[in-house]
Structure 1
Amino acid sequence: MKKRVKIVLLLLSTSGYAWGCTLSGPSAQLSVIIPPLTVQRDLPIGTVIWQQTVNAPLLELAGECGDESETRANLVGNDSGILSGRNPVYNTGVPGIGYAVATGPEFSDGWPAAKDKTASVNTLSLRLVVTGTVSSGVLDAGEYARRLIDGQTAQQLMVQTSVPLTRLACELNDSRDRVVPLGAVLRTGFTGPGSTQGEQVFQLGLTCDAGTQVNIQFDGEADNSGTPGVLALLNHGESGIASGIGVQLLYHQTPIALGERLPLETAPAGVRTYPFTARYYQTQPKVTSGDANAVATFNLTYQ
C-alpha cells in the first residue's frame, strides 16, 4: 500500500510580521561651507582636494532598524565609476571634480550604513575628489546628499554657498619641438668613460598661474651603460653611427633620471624659464667616429 505524503508550502510575507524602521524624532539639515579652491591640473584620479566632517545629531528611530535597505542616502549627480575609500564618487557640475559622502571621518564606511551603525552614526563627511582632467568652474550650492529612513528625510547634507574652483597650470611659450645642436666634436677629445664634450644649454619658457606645481619628465631610449640621464644614439650599432658615447641631459648640472617625474618649483604668476643642459657623454672605453644624434620627449605636468 502506497503512502502519500502531502507537503504544504506556507509562504509568509516577512514584512507583515516585522516592525518597520521609522523616524520618531526631528530631521536635521547639516551644512558645510567650502572655501574657494585652487587645483593643480594634472592631479591623479582619486586625489582628495578638500574634506570636512560635520557632527550630526543622533537619529531617533522606532521599530526594527537593522536592515540597511531601510536607511540609505540619495546622492545628487551621477556615479563617476570610481571609489574614494569604499565610497562611490559622484560627479559635480565641474569637469574632473566629484564628491563622496561617508558616515564617519575616515571614509572606511559609507552609506548605506552598516547594520550595527544604523542609529549610532553621529558624523557625516563630505570630500571632493579628482575624477579626471580638471577644469575651472563653480561648484553649485545646494543639497548633496539626503538620508532616508523608511522613505522619510532624516538628514540633508547641504553646501551653503557656491564655490569658485580654479585650475592651475602653465602654458609653454615656445615651440613644443626643440633642436639642441651639440656640434661636431673630436673623437680624441674623449679621455675615458665619464668624459664629456659639446655641452649646450637649452631653456623651456612657461607662463604660469601663481601656485602651479611644475613638473617635467624626459623619456627616451636609455644608453645600455645605465648612466643616469644618458640617451642612446639614434640607430646605434649601425654603420656610420658613432659608438662609445651617448647624450646626457641635466638640470642645474644634475643628471636627469629618464622616465621619472622631476619637480621644478611651485611657480609664481608670470613667465618662468627653466635651463637644461645636453652634452655628449663617453660610456665605453673606446669611442668611434660617426653620426651622434639622440631624441627625447618631455612632458610637463602640474600636480
Structure 2
Amino acid sequence: MTIPNQNSLNISGPADANRVGVQIGNWGGLVTDRQAFAIDSCSETISFSYAVPEGVPIGGLTHISEGVSYPVFRTGVPGVGYVIGIRDPNSSQWKSVAPPQTQIFPGPGTGSVAPTTLGFTAQVKFIATDRIKSGVYSAPLQKVATLRVTTRTGKPMASDVPLYIKAFTVTAATQGCSLTQGAIQNINLPPATLHSFAGPQSNSVQSVPFSMSLTCDADVSVYATMTDATTPSNTGNVLSRSPDSTALGFGIQLFKNGESSPIKFGPDSSSIGTLNQWYVGKSASTGTVFRIPFVAKYIKQGAEATAGTLRASSTITFSYQ
C-alpha cells in the first residue's frame, strides 16, 4: 500500500512560522484497501491485525489530533517529519502507528466476528519538527510501516504488506535574520566588593553594557530566548556559576537595557512559544537592523558570601515568526 501525497510541497514565510509538532498546512494523504489480506482457508480466520512502524520516533516530540497522540518520525527533509494514522475501514476511530506495534483489528466498529478478508485505511500527515531553512529537498519513496495479520496464538496468516509514502520534494523559501554583530562576546565585569551591594538579593553598582545586531528579511517578527549555557534547564534569572568559579554567594544577571527586571532563561529553542521567549520587533523591509542592548550585573544572593572569581555563560536563540 502506498499513501498518496503531494509531489511537491512549498513552504514560504518566516523560518519558524510552522509550530513544532503541528501539521504543516494541510499536507498529507489517505488511502484505503479493504482487501489488503485475503485468507484462503476454511479452517482459520483472521484474529488480529497490526501495524509495525518502520522508523524510530523523534524523542520528546508528539502530534495531537482529535485526542490521539502520535509519535513523529523523520522524513529525511530538515524540519519536516511525518505521523501515520491507521484504522480498520469499518471503524471511525484513528489509531497512532507507534512502537512496538499498533493493533488495528479487533477495534471499535469492526464487529466481534473475525473476517476472512481484512483491510486498512491509512493516512500520513507532515509535521514541523524544527526550523525549516530555505532550499530544495527531496524525500524518496519510503517504507513507513509493516501491516500483518495473525491468529490468536500469533501465527502469521499471510505475507506482510508494506506501507509506503511516495516520494516528494520540498521547496522552502523562508525568511529570517543574520547576526551581524556580537556573535561571540567576553564580558568582563569590574571587581566588586561587599560595599557594592545594598544587601542580599541586591545588584552591584558595577555593570557592563553589551549588545548584538541582526539584519533581517522583510516582514519577520523576531523573538529571542536566553539560555544558561552551564545549566540549560535553568528557568530562573541568575546564571549558574561555571565549575571554575571560586566566589560563593554571588551570581550574574542579565538585563535588557532600560529594564529593571532581569532576563529569565529558557530552552535553547527557536520554536514558537518557547518558555521565557520575548519579542524583539518586526522588520518593516529587507535590510531592517535590530540592535539589541543588554546589561550584565552581579547579584549578592545571600547573607553569606566568599570572595573569589565568578564566571558564567549564556547563549541566545532567535526565532523568526
Q: Equivalents in 2 of 1:287, 1:90: separation in Å?
A: 50
1:15 corresponds in structure 2 to: none
Residues 88-132 of structure 1, C-alpha deviation per residue, up to 9 Å, x if partnerless? 83534x34534343325855247997234675655x422224567
Residues 241-294 of structure 1, C-alpha deviation per residue, up to 9 Å, x if partnerless? xx6543322234322345655313376454323332211323344777x66543
Q: Equivalents in 1 of 2:317, 2:123: separation in Å?
A: 34
Q: Equivalents in 2 of 1:279, 1:28: separation in Å?
A: 60
Q: Does 1:282 align with 2:300?
A: yes
Q: Equivalents in 2 of 1:172, 1:298: separation in Å?
A: 13
Aligned partners of 1:204 and 1:275 also within 8 Å: yes
2:46 corresponds in structure 1 to: 66
2:136 corresponds in structure 1 to: 138
2:246 corresponds in structure 1 to: 236
RMSD of equivalent CA atoms: 5.2
Aligned partners of 2:138 and 2:170 also within 8 Å: yes
2:11 corresponds in structure 1 to: 37
Aligned AA for 1:127? K
Aligned AA for 2:57? I
1:295 corresponds in structure 2 to: 312
Normalised TM-score (structure 1): 0.56
Aligned partners of 1:43 and 1:130 also within 8 Å: yes
The residue matched to 1:205 in structure 2 has which SS?
Answer: strand
Distance 1:42 1:176, change over 3 A: farther
Aligned AA for 1:89? F
Of the two, which has the highest radius of gyration? Answer: 1
Distance 1:86 1:137, change over 3 A: same
Per-residue deviation at 1:189? 4.2
Q: Does 1:247 align with 2:252?
A: yes
Q: Does 1:265 align with 2:279?
A: yes
Per-residue deviation at 1:192? 1.9
The residue matched to 1:178 in structure 2 has which SS?
Answer: coil
2:225 corresponds in structure 1 to: 215
Distance 1:184 1:215, change over 3 A: closer
Aligned partners of 2:255 and 2:261 also within 8 Å: yes
Distance 1:180 1:99, change over 3 A: same
Q: How does 1:171-210 map to 2 (within 5 A)?
A: 171-183=178-190, 187-196=194-203, 197-208=205-216, 210=220
Q: Equivalents in 2 of 1:103, 1:221: separation in Å?
A: 41
Aligned partners of 2:80 and 2:128 also within 8 Å: yes
Q: Equivalents in 1 of 2:238, 2:231: separation in Å?
A: 10
The residue matched to 1:59 in structure 2 has which SS?
Answer: strand
* Runs of at least 5 residues in structure 2 that lack an aligned partner in the other structure: 40-44, 63-68, 88-92, 111-116, 149-157, 269-275
Q: Equivalents in 2 of 1:156, 1:32: separation in Å?
A: 14
Distance 1:142 1:229, change over 3 A: closer
Q: Equivalents in 1 of 2:241, 2:313: separation in Å?
A: 10
Distance 1:114 1:220, change over 3 A: closer
Aligned partners of 1:48 and 1:127 also within 8 Å: no
Residues 59-105 of structure 1, C-alpha deviation per residue, up to 9 Å, x if partnerless? 36795483778x989x9xxx65326666683534x345343433258
2:80 corresponds in structure 1 to: 97
Aligned partners of 1:137 and 1:164 also within 8 Å: yes
Q: Equivalents in 2 of 1:176, 1:170: separation in Å?
A: 13
Distance 1:253 1:49, change over 3 A: farther
* Runs of at least 5 residues in structure 1 that lack an aligned partner in the other structure: 1-26, 238-242
| Aligned equivalent of 2:105, options 115, 124, 127 | 115
Aligned AA for 2:299? Y
Per-residue deviation at 1:32? 4.5
Aligned partners of 1:220 and 1:258 also within 8 Å: no
Q: Equivalents in 1 of 2:208, 2:140: separation in Å?
A: 57
Per-residue deviation at 1:185? 5.3
